[in-house]
Structure 1
Amino acid sequence: HNAQVAESFLVFNSEGYIQSQPATSVFQYGFNTSDKSGCGWIAVYNVLRYFYNEGIITIEPEIENVIKPLDQFAAFGFGSLGTNPLVIKWLLKSQGFKVEFVLDRTKFEQEAKTSTINIIAYLSKNLNRAHYQMIEYDEVQNDFIFYTSASRKSMSTYLAAHEDDYTFLITISI
């Protein structure tokens, strides 16, 4: 199913990133559709798209090839509860990238600035919401570009908005 709908999926920005999780409702992820719990695979897809755009990888990422291993091995609660971050790390490491978790919020900004690209995530303490996003440091503006959904903000602004949530950063480097 996902390979078929991927052929006609056109909801990318001009650089090929997915910026709208609701638009991914055509994809299956676990027992759900991707608009409900697909932010993990979307963040991974956007990371691979970043590396492709930068010429670091030469094979263009395909949505169905990102969803498949995460759906098989990482979908918590058959996709109802999101994506296992350990499998995200494994998948990116299997592509040859250096991948680390950062749990100390005081180190997020520095680690995100010095890695090639990042995924940031939060989980509310009452466990009713969570989200993964690819983030890119913009040296010129000295802020971060957040993907899906698109925004710009400082790390301190992001962390203040999630001060009552569990947060972690996944740094990805070449």
Structure 2
Amino acid sequence: MKSKDGYIINQGLTQHIHNGRYDSAYNGCGWIAAYNFLKINGVSMRSEKVRTQLRLIMKGKFGTNPFSLYRFLRRNGFPVQRTYRLRKSKNYNSGIVLYFTGKTLHYVAFYKTSEDTYRFLNATYGLENDIRAFPQFIDESTKFPLGMILSI
């Protein structure tokens, strides 16, 4: 479930963690992305606390409310900016991207690893070091050019 450095990278193994009416393997990507984002930025918070502070859509049927996630990050001291055009990527330090996979919406936390690359956490379940350029990630992962990026 976790990487060697403590990030949650395999949502598929979280079926024992409830998130609303459903288990986290089904709808946990929002709280997982929030947990990973906090860890990226040096904030230690228990996963249970992260999960309970985020609002769900239809008791979890459609996962975490994106505006709740935005408010959660702002309340925790992060001056995140919102971007809705995924292909209009900037020079981010870290963030969370919400995108359409072709089947579902999915949240993923990311952080800069070099001038041109980022590490994406929980994008490909269980992949320890998913490191790509941001445009490459968008081209390979999304099926629609709109979504949301919360970044600092």
**Larger % of helix: which?**
1
The percent of aligned pairs where both chains have the same amino acid is: 23
Cα contact 1:24–1:35 (8 A) shared by 2: yes
Residues 1:40 and 2:30 are matched in the alignment: yes
In the superposition, the TM-score normalised over structure 1's length comes to 0.76
- Any stretches of 5+ residues in structure 1 without a counterpart? 1-10
In the TM superposition, residue 166 of structure 1 has moved relative to its aligned partner by 3.2
Q: Which amino acid aligns with 1:19?
A: I
Cα contact 1:47–1:117 (8 A) shared by 2: yes
Match of 1:5 in 2: none
Residues 1:168 and 2:143 are matched in the alignment: no
- Could you tell me which of 135, 140, 143 is aligned with 2:117? 143
Higher relative contact order (CA 8 A, sep 6+): 2
Moved over 4 A (4+): none
In the TM superposition, residue 48 of structure 1 has moved relative to its aligned partner by 1.0
Cα contact 2:85–2:145 (8 A) shared by 1: no
Equivalent pairs, count:
146
In the TM superposition, residue 163 of structure 1 has moved relative to its aligned partner by 4.3
For the aligned residue pairs, the C-alpha RMSD in angstroms reads 1.8
Match of 2:98 in 1: 121
| Equivalent-residue separation in structure 1 for 2:60 and 2:11 (angstroms) | 15
In the TM superposition, residue 155 of structure 1 has moved relative to its aligned partner by 1.9
- Any stretches of 5+ residues in structure 2 without a counterpart? none
In the TM superposition, residue 164 of structure 1 has moved relative to its aligned partner by 2.9
| Equivalent-residue separation in structure 1 for 2:117 and 2:101 (angstroms) | 24
Q: Which amino acid aligns with 2:25?
A: D
In the superposition, the TM-score normalised over structure 2's length comes to 0.86
